[in-house]
Structure 1
Amino acid sequence: MYYYPFQIYGEKEFFPMLDLMRKKKETFLIKAIFIVIVLSFIGTIFLVWGKGEEGFSRSSGYAAKVDRTVISYESYQNSYQRLRDIYQQVFGPGLTPEVEKELNLRQQAIDRLIDNVLIQKAAKGLGVTVSKDEVAAAIAVMPAFQQNGAFDYALYQQTLRTNRITANDFEESQKRDLLISKARTAVMNKTTISDDELLKQYHRENDKIELSYVSFSAAELAAGVKPTDADLEDHLKKNAERFKTPEKIALTWLLLPHATRTEGIALADDEVESFYRKNLDRYLGKDNNAIPLEQIRDRVKTDALRQKAAKQLYEKAADTLFQNIKSGDIALVASKLGARTEQTALFTAAAPPAALAGEATLIKKAFELKQGELGGPVETAKGVYIFKVSEKKAAELPPLAQVRGTVEQQVRLAKAEELARQKAAEAQKALASGDGGLKLSSTPAFGYNGQGTIPGIGSSKPMLEKVFDLTTAVPAPTEPFLVGNRWYAARLKQRIAAPADGFASRKEEIKARLLPVRQETALRDWLKELRAKAKIEINPALTSATP
């Protein structure tokens, strides 16, 4: 028996792979991966399925609970790892933690197990059962248990023993899998496409249409919009965060420059050797190997002395600040350190004064303090800073007079956009009953396309879908369409129907394309309905885990 991948794997797991596989469907890699998907189910299946009425083993804690069924953490881990292995073969080194996060593999893994539990419970209601003969037949065709193209019972027993699985457990797991597969197939097989639907799709894909239309844009209507002061005040209030002036601070600060002289600082030989070992990447030769210490001892000693001097400077600054921090007196701190203070005017975080340009860490920490607080020490490439927030001005909403021009422009545009939509809606109603005396433009004849391109209008898949459903009986949509920055009201001007005799030769091909998509949708909807009726609890630690 051949298992279709979407029957073995949950649709949330398999459908994301479909897009990738459809793009690469002719490659040998993808054909091989379909085989891997099937074969990977063998050998680890027992680890995914547990025992008993409660459903899954509890030995490693729970991953999820579906009504009375418990899915173990071990089951989830195996599901996740197997899923990741499949994607690894598709992406190779491209399966980075970022890509894995985007694919949401952990959520896919737990969703797969939840869906399988739900399907197994729902199978009885579908009248789906699995006989012993079906289980035996399924196992007999598994390549893992065949020798020379035939089922080998001895190999079967040996393989199960190697994986520490009893025949009874494996056959029970196969029965569950077959039950899930048959239930999925039963749901999908209920999906049909009528001849009328196929004919409609044939005409959608082969007819050509012409449209009459009228359009409206906010830019063209904005000049005629006259907002009131009440409109402006209301907009300013509702969008306060966009208009607030940024928070500002003023600093008093001192800088202890890094020492350029290291006289009087002692350095033992073991300190030099320790510094060398910890900073080997600084001392690589042209061959990318570390230069022996004895060849560059003076250089290493100089670097180590500078680091020790910087450390002593930082510790001195920290001790002095700590001893005087309650006073809030930065002048006192400066005098004890033999430094002079500097002052700034009020500034925002985005526009620090020139003297502090580039000191992002200092600026960030300064904005975290309250007015009057001392901060630091902060070490940068220039040295060690200690600072005080001498003034702090909170963000505030300016009066309307200060921002009237900007507010008025935004309100006028917003009202113009609504006016354009209203005019398009009125025009659409008029086109539904006639032309309403509107001055209309026309498109040339055009066909259905995947890009949603409509000549003279632009690209809009929603609009293209709607207008290709229009007929002489229903010649206009009920609502206008926003395409780009314009609203369009449209009406069918002419439909040039494809030859009716062409349908017979295309019917089966159209059905072959539409039916799998319709079946996938039916399967999704069915699973969504099962989930809505079930009580599902997922351990939040699972999906929050990093790859």
Structure 2
Amino acid sequence: MLDSIRKRQRTLLTLITIIVIVAFAWIYNPATMRRGEGPGGAIGKLNGRTIIVADIQKIERNIQLASAFGMQDMIRDLTTAGRTRDDQFLSFAWNMLLVRDVAKSLEIEPASEQIAQAEKALPQFQTNNQFDPAKYQQVLDTVLKPNGFSAADLDNVVADYLRYTGVADLVKGSSPLPEAMFKEQYDLANQKLSLAIVRFNRADFESTIQVTDDDIQKYYNQRKGTLLSPERRTVEMVSFELTEDQKKLPNNQKIAVMKPLAQQADSFAQAVLQNPGNFDQVAKEKGLNVVRTDSFTFDKPDKTIAGDAALVRQVFNLSKENPVSDVIEGPDGFSVMKLVDIDASRPLTLAEAKDQIITAIKEQKAQAAIQAKANELRGKVDADMKKGVGFVQAAESAGAKVETPEPFALADPGKSADIAQLIAANGANPEPNETLKLLEDKGGAMLVHVLKIEPVDQQKYEEYKKTEFAAQNAGYERIAVREWLRVELQKAGRPPIFGQGAS
């Protein structure tokens, strides 16, 4: 059954959009069937009832239709967990089951007439902004039915979307973005800050630090269980890429030439998913070039995939049980990968870990020295400021070099970008005549004193609010929906694959 479902993916969306064709290549993986050892296998319990694999597969299958008919907001909001696509689809399906339960309990189940009206409003069935029965029938006869979908399947997807929007609207309606929070964030980003800065450069402190053999041995003895070599992997990859001339095409033209590549990639993936051992043979039969990487780590990927973070993530999501990847979309084509070898992480010997240990000890000692120096300086400055001395004079009297950069806003820092980034990264909320907590980064630390804050232009704020509040409110509401799902799932039950904690 699973194989036949995967084969249907290749053509379903040809008449709608190439983007959705690509999405179809994601949906099913043979591992899905093994979650519960067959369609009747139990996955877990939700609100006291047992959920089986078949329940999940029905919803996973309908994701294809939801994506095809533009219901990406539902897919996005209900996919709240999982590192792999299989687990993400399980997350979506589980959340959808929860939404169905909640819609029923709140008596906001969509009626048949509501479902029919919502279908008529779908853009795929419109001509001149009016429902076109001929288009509806064409899609039903030439796209859905040949791929095993029926009008009832579309009804079910639309009903789920109405349930989702009904429940989500209730959550969003009770959780709007407070304007006070919006204004506070605007002020924080746009108010001009006049600061006095004292820098503590880590390199200056590390240069005087000596690390003895005893230090190294002690560090190793205390942490040898965590001093590990990085896991290394080797993969083979088949790519389906645009030509150099095609890569230069405008996006609307590039989509058209990507279509056959998507179909080729999916055809290849279908052929090797069930028998990964035939990866090289199938590639040879199809005239495809197989590229084998050198062994590499996650942090230092092979040059073949170093420029594509999505490919690197996929490599480290593969397993010996499921060594072949889904079709992976890139900016100029598609790829399918097979895991060849895993060089597992292992404990390092003292000799292997020595350089790493020396670096760690120096960092620890430098950080401690910086904090001690900063505390000493701050103690002297605070004492003088209580006597009425200004921060700059007090810091200079204590022997510190003080910088007073030109006033800047965090949103427009100019030459003070490093200072702005450090303030933002530490979540600092500057107040006039305040000395912030010591702000640290890899390069060292800064002691920052706020000399003055210029208020924002109220008229500019009102203009900003008109253009940006709605979008930020929508984002805030999406966060509220995901938080609501997290809390409700803790009460209703989550599939064992995700444990019982937060999403």
TM-score in terms of structure 2 length: 0.50
Which of these two proteins has the greater Rg computed from alpha carbons?
1
